[in-house]
Amino acid sequence: MLEHIDTSLIDWSRAQFALTAIYHWIFVPLTLGLAVIMGIMETMYYRTGDEFWKRTAKFWMKLFGINFAVGVATGLILEFEFGTNWSNYSWFVGDIFGAPLAIEGILAFFMEATFIAVMFFGWDKVSRKFHLASTWLTGLGATISAWWILVANAWMQNPVGMEFNPDTVRNEMVDFWAVALSPTAVNKFFHTVLSGWVLGAVFVVGVACWFLLKKRDKKFALSSIKIAAWVGLVSAVLSAWTGDGSGYQVAQTQPMKLAAMEGYYEGQQGAGLVAIGMLNPEKKTYDDGQAPFLFRMEIPKMLSLLAERKMDAFVPGITDLL
């Protein structure tokens, strides 16, 4: 059977999907982060009635709108590539994989599309309370959208709530809630959203600092930095906690993936986390006491801590898992 598969086509399909996903992911976390920050700014306007906060919120909404539009466009391309690049896969697991993506499109995306119109064009046309609600609901829609997409991704990482049907020769869903609320999905969701808030905060601080350097609108810049800094600080602390959960989950459900990511051919006691490294293709063992890397920057014992929550725990390598 394998001789009839064009491996170059598979490689190009993977490359195209990977590049599209990477480009799409530039915009998604920024959308999540900016939504919260501009929501806080408009809340300040609603509570104080100060036109300064209205002007500040409208400025960041413009950048949010540009980012949102490009994110939607690149996301639609990804949806189409499931059919053009991975049609057999989509057919084989479509009963499971398609459900969260359909909910995302029907519920979350239409929610975003509806309220973002009010957010941009409803100034002075609807009440301040309704406009504020529309701004927060736009952000909520983006967050719900992230949830269902990450549910689909989590299922690919750790398939649950399904069984193979020999009559249809397909995987079919048997437990929707097991798919929607799997520990992998929950960890991915919280870590992704909080990381998006961190990115949004860094973006706002960066733009505001540019205003300070140019000596333009100091009040606007300092107020933006103050709000973004608090959002970034809180979300950074929480994202470290959720990141620990994600690392532990990968170690428990995908130990081979973890070993491959870190370049561990052989398991180690007190394994270090390789932050940056390049494997030596000619060397796969620790026979001479040296790791099989051309170079690496490693945080000692950190991988054991992430994987097993013990500094000296054993982390299996590729050869241990084969």
pLDDT tens readout for residues 11-56: 899 999 999 999 999 999 999 999 999 999 999 999 999 999 999 9
Q: Which two tokens stand for residue 70?
A: 């490009």
The pLDDT value recorded for residue 243 is: 87
Taking the C-alpha atoms of residue 144 and residue 146, their distance in angstroms, rounded to an integer, is: 5
> Partners of 315 in the beta sheet?
268
The answer to whether 68 and 161 are in contact (CB under 8 A) is no
Query: Which residue ranges in the chain fall short of pLDDT 70?
Result: 1-5, 283-291
* φ/ψ of residue 5, rounded to 5: -95, 125
Residues 6+ apart with CB under 8 A from 75: 24, 28
pTM to 2 decimals? 0.88
Indicate the domain borders of the chain.
Answer: 2-253, 257-321
For helices 7-48 and 218-253, angle between their N-to-C axes, nearest 10 degrees: 140
The answer to whether 220 and 211 are in contact (CB under 8 A) is yes
The pLDDT value recorded for residue 294 is: 79
Report, in angstroms and rounded to the nearest whole number, the Rg of the chain calculated over CA atoms.
Answer: 23
The pLDDT value recorded for residue 45 is: 95
The CA-to-CA distance between both ends of the chain, in Å, stands at 24
Q: Which two tokens stand for residue 90?
A: 């989509």
Taking the C-alpha atoms of residue 107 and residue 111, their distance in angstroms, rounded to an integer, is: 6
